[in-house]
A = this chain, B = another copy of it.
């Protein structure tokens, strides 16, 4: 019941990009270095974020990463789910076969509620907000 390391890296990546000047292309290596993400692993993560429409990957010698949309339109939920898939908490909710009688199952209902709350809380946290409030892996040369 934990966020995977890949998920955490994804969050760090977007956190970094969101703190950069808007629209700037940032080298993958720079992100990896500053946010303490294994360089090659970040490639995989970035690709997932690109598929989800969160970042844009620019190839070539001046290539790198760029937010595909404004930081205020990217939530923690977006990033986490882009990496780890949709959050479900328990199988009962995601796999109909594992629960014989879903809508009337009391246990099921509790998990469903918990899931909704979790997704809502993560969904309300935008990266614009997160950057503004400050975080613990702040860029070293950040002088906002």
Residue numbers in B under 8 Å from A92 (CB-CB) = 8, 136
Q: A91, B130: Cβ atoms under 8 Å?
A: no
Q: Which residue of B lies closest to A98 (CB)?
A: B8
**8 A Cβ contacts from A85-125 to B:** 87-92, 99-102, 104-111, 113-114, 117-118, 121-122, 125
Number of copies: 2
Bin chain A's interface residue count. Answer: 35 or more
Determine whether A62 belongs to the interface, using a CB cutoff of 8 Å to chain B: no
Q: A105, B136: Cβ atoms under 8 Å?
A: yes
* Contact among B80, B102, B125, B135 for A136, CB-based, below 8 A: B102
Determine whether A24 belongs to the interface, using a CB cutoff of 8 Å to chain B: no
Q: How far is the CB of A75 from chain B (nearest CB, A)?
A: 10
* Contact among B8, B76, B100, B105 for A91, CB-based, below 8 A: B8
Question: Given that A102-B136, A137-B100 are known contacts, is A118 also in contact with B114, CB under 8 Å in the complex?
Answer: yes
Question: Given that A114-B118, A117-B118, A118-B118 are known contacts, is A2 also in contact with B100, CB under 8 Å in the complex?
Answer: no
- The interface of chain A, by Cβ under 8 A from chain B, is 1-5, 7-8, 11, 15, 76, 80, 84, 87-92, 99-102, 104-111, 113-114, 117-118, 121-122, 125, 129-137
